[in-house]
Chain A
């Protein structure tokens, strides 16, 4: 009889636990990180009665947590990738929009600028046209500056986001460490039964962490979870957390890097490639900085070519043209870790060879080495780094103030600052050098048929450039210059003197004279303005093969393609992530219909057990009344 009670009471207790577990599942159906639980029912130890054994009921051995480590790991890794691509996407699309916006963008400014040069060529004496040209040049300068400052502000946003990510990572790491301690204690207290709710919480924190940064984990036998970031740097070991720190880049204090030490000695940014943080770092090195460098390369090319053209021309006041634009010189930053005060000065020797790369100059073992700062590839160079023999590579010339200490490093950014510092240098419309610097003339008394070309300036720095030179033919085949010398005449050949070049062609007669002189007063001359307008299609970059305009188009396509590729990758990763989520959910998620069915099942079993108990009770009562009535 007692057996009957024992069986039914055990059943009622077990079923209550089952109903409670099902209810808990229903209650947590929408709790993030909750893994569906189920009761593990086993038969109670049977009683042996001679040759027979009799069951003694049911018992709950443990509450099972529906969980697949493989699926969870897949989801975490997929979330890391998605986090990386999502933050990268945010920034590549912004870069794309900044670079690519045609309306009010750089292309429009450049078009107006070249058109303004053409208008000056059409009407070189008009101050109004010249003023409009200065306005258009200012428009180009503003366009470079604003594009650069928008890109710079993206870098500032990235810094803010890095700081917030690092704080969040540290805080999640601390929570995981604390949960580790509780889980270890809880497991021990429950005699090896893991505290499921705490594990759910910890898994959810890990999932959140994986969105921020790529993680790898292992679980100790005592139940503690160890978390590693980057290339294996521990974030959580048992109950301890090693905090990450956002520290200034040793070359560029305005950019934050990730370090595992507060003094910034161990920078691990390079190995953080996943999660939101990985995306932020990638956005900076793959989108924002390259965009600034490419923009700077274009700015440098435009400035150099416009200035060179302006320098060989003559302005309205009869002076040689002054620089139209100014840009900052290339940056050479000594590492904060350098041990002496040697500085590097970098100039641009050949704009055609200039690239949009940054370089790292290292002095070690008595020799310099030059590498591409982003790829680490070695760059061939010549020279010793002295003023007499500068280090020259990729159009740069690098001079060091002395011999650096062993291990000193310099980051060389040839174009990073150029776009932001691009300014209009001319102040007055009459300073625009629309005219050529020299003019040529044939004497009216010439009897031969020879003609002289308009002449071009080869070297604007020649001090005698504007001095008048007379070319006198002493015979049809020889000429003298300023009454001296006798040079053989070759029709159409270049005659170079005082920094200019002219050609005389045709048949001169003895006594024919030609003059080359300053073009001061040649207000109507538009040769230099024509050349400036034509520079629209003249190759400047890549060894003189790519024009400023073409470089802008290429930049738009380049960053557009990058954004498109990241967008596609992000869409693909979203699909992968949905799949991973589905795998996790199909194991650990709560299906309410399933729970309803379970509930009905437990309810019916409970009712049956209760009924059995009633029957047992009735039997007992019947027995008792039989006893009291003296039947037995």
Chain B
């Protein structure tokens, strides 16, 4: 093999180029801390890093969504607590009004307190979040949903439910609309209502009502009619007698799976209507109480008033139960958020580790290669100067 000087030089220069570009690449790696600066250096890792970065960004966004939802749900939770406090106060007032010892004059004062509670309840139902959105308005969050109106309050919102994406495939409601929270509260005991006929002349008072056999109650309406102060008949919607019996004070009357306690002394001809529970607005419930109290204020407290107040207390209890259910659901969502935030934090840490392991430089090995490359480069240079200096012409 003949080796010529120009070949030696070409090969040296080619080698020098390769060594210097390797050195420059290692240097760039050490400067940036990245294992590769273009996807061509590790295409699979570059694609994966891109995918993982997207997943990381998504996870971060889910966490941001969860935090935003948490803020709104905390506002709702707080509003519901205050609503329940107001309802408890209202219930105490109603019990006070129903105690039998209260004077008709005091009823007026209680009525005005109840009216005040009505105002603050409407205010709470119009709670806004930090963005100025009404949280109980459904989708129509830019309009105040509740306004005081005859018979309670009008509702300008809708039944939309706003959701937040807190994880892949997991959305949670970040609020509840006004219809669901305030307007769709069952009356009576939640299954049926008992109301005294306005024309009753006796002192029959409605006591506890229960569903003894849910399977037997099909949702029909009935009337309990007193044929005599101590005898009653139960008529169904077609006026057919479905039950009858002897009345004793405080004794429960049972029919069609229902149990109704009556006390006092009803008069012959008195009747009590039994109907399936319907939905009633919380504000109607409060307004009904206010109206009842106002109608009795300054006059005699009749059994009708007592029955009406007792009915209102039932309705308030329903409202308390209902808002408590809503609040429990809110608590459940807040728990779900806490869980998801914890999961997201772990996931993000793992993703960051994965991304780092894919694209971050292994410093010890990079520094070792740098040293090796430096050694090769200086050895190549020295070898060249030694061999290039060898020439027969020197000896001629």
**Which A residues form the contact surface with B (CB < 8 A)?**
29-30, 92-93, 96-97, 99-100, 102, 107, 110-111, 114-115, 118-119, 121-123, 125-126, 435, 439-442, 444-447, 454, 509, 519, 521-527, 530, 533-534, 536-537, 549-550, 552-554, 556-561, 563-564, 567, 574, 578, 581-582, 585-587, 589-594, 596-597, 599-600
Contact = CB atoms under 8 A, between A and B. Distances in A.
A114 B58 contact: yes
Nearest to A589: B4
B159 interface: yes
Contacts of A574: 14
Given A549-B54, A560-B43, A594-B2, A439 B133 contact: no
B44 A592 contact: no
Contacts of A537: 58, 168
Nearest to A128: B131
B278 A123 contact: no
A96 B391 CA distance: 47
Interface stretch (B5-13, B340-348, B364-372, B373-381): B5-13
B160 A439 contact: yes
A111 B6 contact: no
A347 B227 CA distance: 83
- 4 A-B pairs with the lowest CB-CB distances in the bound complex, closest first: A524-B141, A560-B39, A522-B139, A557-B47
B242 interface: no
B230 interface: no
Given A93-B38, A524-B137, A563-B38, A111 B53 contact: yes
B61 A522 contact: no
Contacts of A509: 219
Given A107-B54, A111-B57, A442-B159, A121 B38 contact: no
Interface string B125-165: 00000011110011111110000000000000011111111
Given A522-B139, A578-B11, A593-B392, A121 B5 contact: no
B46 A560 contact: yes
B58 A550 contact: no
A241 B66 CA distance: 75
A561 B41 CA distance: 8
Interface of B: 1-7, 10-11, 14, 38-44, 46-51, 53-54, 57-58, 60-61, 64-65, 68-69, 131-134, 137-143, 158-165, 168, 171, 179, 183-184, 219, 276-279, 281, 390-393, 396
A444 B179 contact: yes
Nearest to A517: B158
A118 B65 contact: yes
Given A107-B53, A114-B58, A550-B51, A30 B38 contact: no
B131 A121 contact: no
Contacts of B278: 445, 447
A376 B163 CA distance: 51
A30 B6 contact: yes
Contact of A441 (B38, B58, B179, B391): B179
Nearest to B143: A521
Nearest to A523: B142
A534 B165 contact: yes
Given A559-B39, A567-B40, A581-B7, A439 B139 contact: yes
Contacts of A526: 162-164
B162 A600 contact: no
Given A521-B139, A560-B43, A574-B14, 9 more contacts: A92-B40, A527-B163, A533-B165, A553-B54, A561-B40, A582-B11, A585-B7, A592-B4, A597-B392
A102 B53 contact: yes
B163 A530 contact: yes
Contacts of A581: 7, 10
